[in-house]
Every structure is written in C-alpha cells, then in structure tokens.
Amino acid sequence: MALEAAIAELVADFITKGRPSSRHQTFDERRAGYIASTVLAGEIEQRVTVEDRDIAGISLRVFSPLNAEGKLPAVIYYHGGCFVSGGFATHDNQLRQLAFLSGCRVIAVQYRLAPEHTYPAAHDDAERAADLIWQYADELNIERSQITLAGDSAGGHLALITALRLRDANRWLPQRLVLIYPMIDATASSESYKRNGDDYVLTRDTLLSGFEAYFPQTELMHPEVSPLWRDDFLGLPPVHILTAEYDPLCDDGEVLFARMTEQGVNCSAQRYLGVIHGFFQLGGISPTARNAMRDIAAKISSPYPL
C-alpha cells in the first residue's frame, strides 16, 4: 500500500534534505527534535486529569479519565525513543488520548536514558516501576488484576523484558502486553531493516545507534538485548503486537508473533499499512494512527486478555 499522504510528505522532505542521520546529531539534539515532533500528535486531549507522582524515587505520570471514580484497570506505559530520548513530554498527548478512549488509568514511567545510563539501568527502572505500581495499587486507585504493560519502540522492548522478569521472579503477572513496533533485535538481521532502513525518517541508523548507546558492552544476542531470539516465552500473559508497513522493525514484530505462538503464548499481531515507525504519535496527521489508538484502547479496556 502507498504511504498515507501526510506521511509521504514527511518522507519526501526527509529525502530532499539528504536523509540526515541520527549519528550526526548530539543526544541533546535528538531529544529536542523528538519533543518538537509532538506537534504532529494532534489537539491535546483535555477530557482527562494528569498527575505527576514520585514513588520511591521512580517518576510517574498518571492519566485518568475525567471524573473517574473508584479503582480502574491500568496501563503501565513505557515510552519510546530508542533508549536515548523520550519521556513525559513526548508522550503526554498520546497517553491522554489513550486514557480517555479506554477509560483506564494510564501510568507513564520515566526511566533512565542512554548514553548517560547504560544497560541495565532502563530495564531495572522499568521492572522496579511495575513492582511499585502493583504494590501501591490501592493508593493509585487501580485494579491489580487488570494491569496491562505497554510501550512503543524501546518502550515495547522494556514492556516485554519486564514481563519476562516478573514471570521469572514469580511475583505477579500483568493481564496482557501491548507491544507497539518493539525494538527487539539489535542484530538488525530482518529483511525490513533492508527495505525500510534508509528512507522512512526513523531509519536503521536511528534504531541501531540507540541500541549501541544503551548496550555498549553487551553481546547483541544477549536475551535482554535481542529478546526476539529467546526460547522461553511460555508463561507470558496474552500479547498483542502492532507493526508498521514501512518500518525497519516491521518483520521483527511479525517474527516475534510467530515465535511466541510456536512457544505456546496467546499472541495476536496487526500490521498497519501506509505508515512508518513512530506513526502511533502522528495522530494529528495520520488516520491510521487514530485508528490504532482506538484499537489499542479497545484491547486494554476489554475484560478479556486479547
């Protein structure tokens, strides 16, 4: 399918500018550019309340539907940004929309970023945040039995590893996982890295430089670097994976679906056509992004895992 019209304009502009590489930017420039891109997310959703919390040193932002009362299902959300950028500022509008459309409390986690903090800093923050949210469920007014772990890109990676760590520790498990074009293979061995790696704004260079910054001294096939190749998915809760047609990571998400299914996980996947990596944050210009938001909201608000 052809690129959506507005996304095609972004791609054409990127190519006209000579396909600038993230490797030629400082990390501060990457972070500022990510924040600047939030204008593409659309009008700010106002039908929610937003509260910043700090629990035992972990920074959280809690998005609740307006006038919500009592305990609600919850989403613990890990932002994207290739492990080097992103945070509350880059995901505020999407998570406002998700809370409003789903009727759930959405709890965003701020984890430490590379290159200042390398592996396992973000992984440990993600796991600790999930445990703290579960422990403080009554104070946060959420249902312990109805917690979804979700994230996009690097955040999808962190959601997956957090669930695997929770399972291995035999503490508690989320009701489901929602992985939005997750970064799960630092070897970049899929065909989609080749066919979609150069032209579509968030490129192979963007993704791999993030892996390199966060995992500078860890083997690429380490199970917490490239979890795509793990053989121990059995025991995870149901998983839903979103992929994008023109994303270097498209094949990775679909291979993950196949591998999880083969290993006995209740898994589903959907490829969104005509869009690129990061499209979930382009709701102001992309009808497909708005559809994906509604799809995810329906998933996480359902009493059934998938």
What are the tokens at 153? 């890109």
What's phi and psi for 165, nearest 5 deg?
A: -65, -40
Alpha-carbon torsion (179, 27, 59, 41), positive or negative: negative
**Other beta carbons less than 10 A from residue 266's beta carbon:** 14
Cα angle vertex 63, ends 235, 148, to 5°?
10
Identify the H or E element spanning 234: none
Cα angle vertex 44, ends 43, 46, to 5°?
125
Beta strand 176-180 with 239-244 is: parallel
Buried b (16+ CB within 10 A) or exposed e, 166-180: bbeeeeebbbbbbbb
> What is the distance between the terminal CA atoms of the chain, rounded to a whole angstrom?
27
Alpha-carbon torsion (301, 150, 71, 53), positive or negative: negative
Q: Which residues contact 112 (CB under 8 A, 6 or more apart)?
A: 121, 122, 125
Buried b (16+ CB within 10 A) or exposed e, 37-46: ebebbbeebe
Residues annotated catalytic, as ranges: 153, 247, 277
Identify the H or E element spanning 161: helix 154-169
The residue type found at 72 is: L
For the chain, how many residues are written? Answer: 306
* β-pair partners for 240: 178, 268
